[in-house]
Amino acid sequence: MPTTMQTPLKRTLPIANRAFFSSLAPAADIIAPPPQLPPFDHQPRPYNGPSTDEVLAKRKTFLAPSLLHYYQKPVNIVEGKMQYLFDESGRRYLDAFAGIVTVSCGHCHPQVLDAIIEQSKLLQHTTTIYLNHAIADYAEALASKMPGNLKVVYFLNSGSEANELAMLMARLYTGNLGMISLRNAYHGGSSGALGLTAVNTWKYPIPEGNVHHVMNPDPYRGVFGADALSYAKDVEDHIDYGTSGKVAGFIAETIQGVGGAVELAPGYLKLVYDIVHKAGGVCISDEVQTGFGRTGSHYWGFETQGVIPDIVTMAKGIGNGLPLGAVVTTPEIASVMTQKLQLNTFGGNPVCSAGGLAVLRVLDKEKRQAHCAHVGSHLLDRLRSLMQRHDIIGNVRGRGLMVGVELVTDRKEKTPAKAETAVLFEKLRELGVLVGKGGLHGNVFRIKPPMCFTEDDADFLVDALDYAITKL
């Protein structure tokens, strides 16, 4: 989810920013016509439901006031098909954010839908106190995707629950309390998960004890650049002086999602995992956004750093939109959960299990990991070429179909282009592209589409961004 969205968009840029935009392209440049969406063979159903204004009014009246929405005039999405979404008028949008990286196979993928529907006809829910083959089949399939001795699966309903359980496991198994996470990280919306989160946009002023936030190993904005050793030394110092030499666990996303698609400095996790293990702790990889082949080069994000964690958490893309999460760990660590009753009423229910298993099969059958590698490489190449034309693009980063485009008003100073990002964000929506927005300063476009995203889609997205910047 994005970090800055509640400030109303100003329609007039400051004078300094207007001067900056005027320098982006010579006055003699001819702005090409707006790009057109690639052809797509799907006709949305006629929509006869409440209008955008009616939905917004009900939302303001009956839903939590803390709920936020994108865009000055919110988009009323009523239908989805693969990598596209449709509003109440039938207009098609390219979904380059996948419901916050939740839709992996594509909206309403027929094989996933069939599995959910068929299981719903048989049995929608039964507690794990009784036997049912769906959860066992799914656990077996998911465990087969894991390296090393990561063979015990716990099913839950969300990434927040998964990270809460992982933190509990770490503390029970080690007998220590101190947890270490990265600045600019995001690990969920529950109380404990918010304690691990180090972004003030999300945190409430409630003390979360025994959590230490270390320097973010960000190659672009980090104080040590891509020097993994210096960042790892910061972790070691926190353990030596902040937790008396002992620690329960260390948790990190391999590529920070909410933080703006920030990939960790190369070699960082291997160094830190060794330090944490020597201090008696366990290492947790948050794969909520990076898992299931999205990075292209590997099935799991932690594999890009050459490590095997002790605990892996996952959610979002695991269920292609179903409320599903999981924790996978070793038999040794799992044994600590037998000391007391451990139960999740809906975790691994037959419908979610059937849907989750169908997701794994679709990703394998359609070779989505290799697809992410191919299309992601094309997308990154095109974005980096665009960066050569527009100084407002300060950094392009990511792997596969997990990409970040950071906008700045000064490349040398890396000054966040907050207002400009907000304007371009609206322009992209007008052109038919829905992207995410995040980063510590809210100046990063988060491009993380469904894994069925094509080269033509990538070209349209880049052409739309080029047009929007040039038009400004």
Instruction: State the Cα–Cα distance between residues 194 and 415, nearest whole angstrom.
Output: 28
- The CATH number given to whatever domain includes residue 206 is 3.40.640.10
Based on the domain organization, do 268 and 417 belong to the same domain? no
d(CA 205, CA 340): 31
Assess whether pLDDT exceeds 50 at residue 25.
Answer: no
Q: Rounded CA gap, 365 and 457, in Å?
A: 21
DSSP-based three-state secondary structure for 214:
strand
Question: What's the pLDDT at 30?
Answer: 61
Residues 182 and 192 in one domain: yes
Please provide the average confidence, as pLDDT, over all residues in the chain. 91
DSSP letter string over 186-205? ---SSHHHHHH---TTT--S
pTM value surpassing 0.75:
yes
Among 309, 336, 366, identify where a domain stops: 366
The single residue listed with the structure tokens 């794990």 is: 128
In a domain, 8, yes or no: no
- The pLDDT assigned to 20 comes to 46
Query: What's the confidence (pLDDT) of residue 5?
Result: 36
Domain end: 366, 381, 398, which one?
366
Taking alpha carbons only, the member of 101, 92, 244, 102 closest to residue 178 is: 244
From the list 122, 257, 235, the residue with the least C-alpha distance to 188 is 257
Are 75 and 209 within one domain?
no
Q: 441-445 long-range contacts, Cβ below 8 Å, gap at least 24?
A: 441/4, 441/416, 442/2, 442/3, 442/4, 442/5, 442/416, 442/418, 443/406, 443/407, 443/408, 443/416, 443/417, 443/418, 444/260, 444/261, 444/404, 444/405, 444/406, 444/407, 445/404, 445/405, 445/407, 445/421
The answer to whether residue 239 is domain-embedded is yes
pLDDT over 90 (residue 190): no
Q: 322 and 430 share a domain?
A: no
Q: pLDDT, tens digit, for every residue of 241-253?
A: 877 899 999 999 9
Q: What is the pLDDT of residue 29?
A: 53
Q: Is the pLDDT of residue 305 over 50?
A: yes
346, 377: one domain: no
Does residue 234 lie within any of the structural domains? Answer: yes
Burial of residue 297, with CB atoms counted within 10 A of its CB: 0-12 exposed, 13-18 middle, 19 or more buried: middle
Q: What is the DSSP string of 140-190?
A: HHHHTT--TT--EEEEESSHHHHHHHHHHHHHHHHS---EEEETT----SS
What span, in angstroms and rounded, lies between the C-alpha atoms of 123 and 134? 10
Residues 357, 372, single domain; the answer is no
User: Residues 380, 464: one domain?
Assistant: yes
Do both 203 and 223 map to the same domain? Answer: yes
Q: How many domains would you assign to the chain?
A: 2
Tell me the C-alpha distance between 315 and 118, whole Å: 23
What's the average model confidence in pLDDT over 42-60?
A: 95
Condensed to tens digits (0 to 9), the pLDDT of residues 361-414 reads: 999 999 999 999 999 999 999 999 999 999 999 999 999 999 999 999 999 999
Please indicate, yes or no, whether residues 141 and 280 belong to a single structural domain of this protein. yes
Is pLDDT above 80 for 419? yes
Supply the pLDDT for residue 67. Answer: 87
CA distance 376 to 295: 8
Q: What is the pLDDT of residue 120?
A: 97
Write out the residue range of the structural domain in which residue 148 sits: 110-366
Q: Determine which of 20-29, 212-221, 333-342, 448-457 has the lowest per-residue pLDDT on average.
A: 20-29
Give the confidence band of 207 by pLDDT, cuts at 50, 70, 90: low
pLDDT at 26: 45
Judging by beta carbons within 10 Å of its beta carbon (0-12, 13-18, 19+), is residue 241 exposed, middle or buried?
exposed
User: Is the residue at 409 inside a domain?
Assistant: yes
Do 359 and 382 have their domain in common? no
Q: Mean pLDDT, to the nearest integer, of 406-427?
A: 97
pLDDT at residue 86 is higher than 50: yes
First to last CA, the chain: 26
So what's the pLDDT on residue 420?
97
Determine the longest span between alpha carbons in the chain, in angstroms.
73
Please report the DSSP string for 68-95 in residue order.
Answer: --SSSS---EEEEEBTEEEETT--EEEE
User: In the predicted model, is pLDDT for residue 51 greater than 60?
Assistant: yes
Structure tokens at 26: 């010579």
Same domain? For 362 and 372 the reply is: no
In this structure, the answer to whether residues 410 and 446 fall within a common structural domain is yes
Q: What is the pLDDT of residue 199?
A: 67
Report the pLDDT averaged over residues 168-182: 96
Tell whether 76 is covered by a domain: yes
Q: Band of the pLDDT at 156, cuts 50, 70, 90?
A: very high
Domain finish residue from 343, 366, 389: 366
Q: For the CA atoms of the chain, what is the radius of gyration? A: 22
**Is 4 inside any structural domain?**
no
| 131, part of any domain | yes
51 and 76 Cβ atoms separated by less than 8 Å: yes
Give percent of the chain with pLDDT exceeding 70: 92
18 — pLDDT class (breaks 50, 70, 90): very low
